[in-house]
Chain A
Amino acid sequence: MELDTTEVAAKTPDHEQPWAELGLKEHEYDRIRDILGRRPTNAELAMYSVMWSEHCSYKSSKVHLRRFGEQAPHSDALLVGMGENAGVVDVGHGYAVTFKIESHNHPSYVEPYQGAATGVGGIVRDILAMGARPIAVMDPLRFGPMDAPDTKRVLPGVVAGIGGYGNCLGLPNIGGEVVFDPSYAANPLVNALCVGVLRHEDIHLANASGVGNKIVLFGARTGGDGIGGASILASESFDDTKPSKRPSVQVGDPFMEKVLIECCLELFSARVVEGIQDLGAAGISCATSELASNGDGGMHVDLEKVLLRDPSLTPGEILMSESQERMMGVVAPENLDAFLAITAKWDVETAVIGEVTDTGRLVIDWHGETIVDVDPRTVAHDGPVYERPYERPAWQDDLQAASPSSLPRPAGGAQLRETLLQLAAAPNLASKSWVTDQYDRYVLGNTVLAQPENAGVVRIDDQTGLGVAVATDGNGRYTKLDPYAGAQLALAEAYRNVATSGARPVAVTDCLNFGSPEDPGVMWQFAEAVRGLADGCQTLGTPVTGGNVSLYNQTGDVAILPTPVVGVLGVLDDVARRTPLGFRETGHAIYLLGTTREEFGGSEWAHVVHGHLGGLPPAVDLDAERQLGEILIAAARDGLIDAAHDLSDGGLAQALVESTLRYGVGARVAVPGGIDPFVFLFSESQGRALVAVSPDTDERFVRLCAERGYPNQRIGVVGGAALSVDDLFDVDLDELRRAHESTFPAAFDA
């Protein structure tokens, strides 16, 4: 077939093009023709179709996401905000931290190992592209029911993929979540977060500026993997000698990425990179159009110079390929030799494929003939924007009316004991060691806290002990009951987890996982969740620095639970002052901070014991969260507490289970007067934490709480080999451990 050049396209306006198969709507295709003043070439069509996809263009979510910018609280710490590969936050001593969360949901369902592995690889390259050394990862995961046959295919593959890639990259995995719900059965959520550290002066941005600067593609060769719609263009050629079915899920090579990381860091420190962009979704299409449209001129690329794994790839396929472990750099001509010497040292293949021009156009040639000639902004930034209709679903009122208050409750010591053991063994609350033991948490030698702690904590600077804490949280059941509150509850929990570990929360990243935006009910959930999160971040003073939206997580008409996953980053001036969660010392007093109300809507108890979802989620009080956080941070800094655990899913009972099992040291607690023991143990009221305090600092700690007027109750004492609730029950720690730790091995050790 004749090469579809811009010249050919101008002469053949009536040529039929497969825009619908590439996922474009008719009016979108018409708009491309309007922009270009002719029909697009096949290569241009490939570029527009991927860059205007929901995944790359945020066309359904954009109008709502603006809130994060418009309502962002002022923060002196924010060095780079939303819109770049990742946000960058000042953490003091000249250091900055960048972090971001992304989804790789659909690929991980199709091919769990590679889908999850390349999810890790992609987010790590985003962080690297900011000029940072990646220092830790964590993975919030959601699956269908634990006992569903397909979960036994998806979960072990996802976990092995995350481990296989992350372990080989040498990045400690410091936390995350594993949650089960039937709504995730054919829509597992595989979110991946990465944290990186850099000096202020090392920040790199994705733009191609400076006429004459070279465009360099380096890393793995470009192959036929990860091509979605481009195969439709390829099939037009009717050439039987070509491989017709290409995998749409990318295949990762973590060794290549590890070498690429070290190579990039050496390039940054040699100061031979003007701008840099990682290649992720939409591959070269995305990198060239984004670099060019963020720059001050245009770009010319000779596409045949791209190094290929498969020489039969068409230009459209090369532009769309999502082959992993590739980066695109902008290099001044006088630095090119130094640049190439460094890539050669690391045996990283490199091709100079073009240069920055002053035309304002992105022009791509194929063996001297022009196949793309576009204004790069129209590809990268001026895609369609939809104001999709949204409407509170008709069933929302009934759902909220179905309060859990009439569900039968356990009464008496024996039933409460049985409930505690049942919840401790339930899939969402059981020990996740089966998963996290497949991840390296030690590599790099800076991990101070990792799963099952409240938050992951890593040291940044050996000299000062400066470090960061990160936690991710999300509760789809709460969010279904009330999307606005649900998003704030996710934020509140992650914020609380970070503060509980002793760190000062400074910034937020989010991964918004929802169903189809074409369903007005789902769109309402999304809009409400964004509104809730933006309002919450404003109140807590923690700006959203970046994140990701994943829509169309549904099978047929049934959407997943709306699941905003929120990551909070905190700073610890000295990681030696962090607060771990486990009880250690016999005789330490146990305090419960915060107020316990009767709140069981969306609770783990209602879910596990009754399969019930209804009512309203626990009340949100962000001012209380802030006060609680200040107490926990001050107490950690001043050495007033020995252990702390935030209260969330499963309430006080679950926090006691985890705090006693951590080091195998028991506790004896008493139910305070005036509160029902069931409510005391299992309510999921917010703004609460469990704290262990040494007799030496007891008085000072109580004074700290009193000064700030925060409710606190002494509920028990650390010690013994059992978890005991006075006058109600005792559970031997061995029995508790068996219940808590057997669930995952029983389900997944075939």
Chain B
Amino acid sequence: MRIGVVTFPGSLDDHDAARAVRVAGGDPVVLWHADADVRGVDAVVLPGGFSYGDYLRAGAIAGMAPVMSAVVDAARGGMPVLGICNGFQVLCEAHLLPGAMLRNEHLRFVCRDQRLRVENAATSWTSAYGQGQEIVVPLKNIDGCYVADERTLDELEAEGRVAFRYVGENPNGSLRDIAGITNARGNVVGLMPHPEHAVDALTGPTTDGLGFFTSVLEGMAHA
């Protein structure tokens, strides 16, 4: 299974995402921001970082990068797409997911091992988890406060589209403790925490993040 990892200028966790794909048994494929297509991959990861320096707004310029038109088309066609941290911000800016991220409530960058609850274990990226399962993966960002209007939040809740919630202290002021969401179809998932940093006990706090990548590979194997 070939999983594309997009590198924008300023992407930082692209190598980590590719490594996580490899650890899970997939083949990572390098995609460049200026590419016109996604090279026939089966799924795409938009990694963390500060794409284009997060100038204007986090993820705003990356949302308009050439490769993103191809990613948006593929996502609308059902291809699994995962946005991690800056990638989540890009998915929101590209209107594949609703809402936006503001600066953390305490206005500081925060890096810590974060407990999350998997609220929807039926998406392309979460099927390896149990519904309600708690996992610990790193969280690291300065613009991580998820916001949306009340109606959107109510809709997300009603449709089971809140994919992850922070457990314990809310680290950044995100509304309703939302850490990640999915689209209605369940193929596009975005979250602020970093599952790709929790795939190896030597370098991560846990291996709880591996399930994201095994989920999508498993799903494709049965597709």
Residues of chain A having any CB pair with chain B under 8 Å? 160, 163-164, 167-170, 253-256, 258-259, 262, 346-347, 436-448, 459, 462, 575-576, 749
A and B contact pairs by CB, cutoff 8 A, 20 listed: A163-B109, A167-B50, A167-B142, A168-B53, A169-B12, A253-B53, A255-B10, A258-B10, A258-B12, A438-B109, A439-B109, A440-B111, A442-B16, A442-B111, A442-B140, A443-B12, A443-B13, A445-B197, A462-B19, A575-B202
Beyond A168-B10, A443-B16, whether A255 also contacts B111 by CB under 8 A is no
Beyond A437-B111, A437-B112, whether A255 also contacts B16 by CB under 8 A is no
Chain B residues contacting A259 (CB-CB under 8 Å) are: 9-10
Residue in A255, A444, A447 whose beta carbon sits within 8 Å of that of B52 in the complex: A255
Beyond A444-B15, A444-B16, whether A439 also contacts B111 by CB under 8 A is yes
In whole angstroms, how far apart are the Cα atoms of A444 and B49 in the complex?
A: 11
B108→A255 contact, CB < 8 A: no
Q: Output the least CB separation between A397 and chain B (Å).
A: 47
Within 8 A of A (CB), among B1-44: 9-10, 12-13, 15-16, 19
Chain A residues contacting B196 (CB-CB under 8 Å) are: 445
A346→B53 contact, CB < 8 A: no
Chain B residues contacting A440 (CB-CB under 8 Å) are: 109, 111, 140
Cβ contacts B187-222/A at 8 Å (1 or 0 each)? 000000010110010111000000000000000000
Chain B residues contacting A443 (CB-CB under 8 Å) are: 12-13, 16, 48, 140
In whole angstroms, how far apart are the Cα atoms of A685 and B106 in the complex?
A: 41
B109→A167 contact, CB < 8 A: yes
In whole angstroms, how far apart are the Cα atoms of A659 and B35 in the complex?
A: 50
Q: Output the least CB separation between B223 and chain A (Å).
A: 29
A-B contact count (CB 8 A): 86
B108→A445 contact, CB < 8 A: no
In whole angstroms, how far apart are the Cα atoms of A106 and B9 in the complex?
A: 32
In whole angstroms, how far apart are the Cα atoms of A442 and B106 in the complex?
A: 21
A168-B53, A259-B9 known; 9 new pairs, CB 8 Å cut-off, are A167-B109, A168-B10, A168-B54, A255-B54, A436-B111, A442-B197, A444-B15, A448-B202, A459-B202
A445→B53 contact, CB < 8 A: no
Chain A residues contacting B19 (CB-CB under 8 Å) are: 445, 462
Beyond A167-B140, A168-B50, A170-B49, whether A441 also contacts B111 by CB under 8 A is yes
Which residue of chain A has the shortest Cβ distance to B50 in the bound complex?
A: A168
Chain B residues contacting A346 (CB-CB under 8 Å) are: 9
Within 8 A of A (CB), among B136-155: 138, 140, 142
Q: Output the least CB separation between B218 and chain A (Å).
A: 23
In whole angstroms, how far apart are the Cα atoms of A439 and B111 in the complex?
A: 6
In whole angstroms, how far apart are the Cα atoms of A440 and B140 in the complex?
A: 6
Chain A residues contacting B10 (CB-CB under 8 Å) are: 168, 255, 258-259
Chain A residues contacting B110 (CB-CB under 8 Å) are: 437-438
B side interface size, CB within 8 A = 30
B203→A255 contact, CB < 8 A: no
Chain B residues contacting A448 (CB-CB under 8 Å) are: 202-203
Q: Output the least CB separation between B28 and chain A (Å).
A: 13
Q: Output the least CB separation between B12 and chain A (Å).
A: 3
In whole angstroms, how far apart are the Cα atoms of A160 and B202 in the complex?
A: 28
Q: Output the least CB separation between A466 and chain B (Å).
A: 13
In whole angstroms, how far apart are the Cα atoms of A262 and B108 in the complex?
A: 27
A438→B53 contact, CB < 8 A: no
Interface-central residue, B15, B55, B109, by most chain A CB under 10 Å: B109
Beyond A170-B49, A253-B53, A255-B55, whether A164 also contacts B109 by CB under 8 A is yes
Chain A residues contacting B16 (CB-CB under 8 Å) are: 442-445
Chain A residues contacting B54 (CB-CB under 8 Å) are: 168, 255
Chain B residues contacting A436 (CB-CB under 8 Å) are: 111
Chain B residues contacting A169 (CB-CB under 8 Å) are: 12
Beyond A255-B50, A445-B203, A448-B203, whether A438 also contacts B194 by CB under 8 A is no
In whole angstroms, how far apart are the Cα atoms of A448 and B55 in the complex?
A: 32
Residue in B50, B53, B138, B202 whose beta carbon sits within 8 Å of that of A442 in the complex: B138
Which residue of chain B has the shortest Cβ distance to A173 in the bound complex?
A: B111
In whole angstroms, how far apart are the Cα atoms of A462 and B22 in the complex?
A: 12
B108→A438 contact, CB < 8 A: yes
In whole angstroms, how far apart are the Cα atoms of A43 and B97 in the complex?
A: 56
In whole angstroms, how far apart are the Cα atoms of A749 and B111 in the complex?
A: 17
In whole angstroms, how far apart are the Cα atoms of A368 and B112 in the complex?
A: 57
In whole angstroms, how far apart are the Cα atoms of A346 and B33 in the complex?
A: 11
Cβ contacts B41-71/A at 8 Å (1 or 0 each)? 0000000111011110000000000000000
In whole angstroms, how far apart are the Cα atoms of A441 and B113 in the complex?
A: 11
Residue in B9, B109, B112 whose beta carbon sits within 8 Å of that of A347 in the complex: B9
Q: Output the least CB separation between B53 and chain A (Å).
A: 3
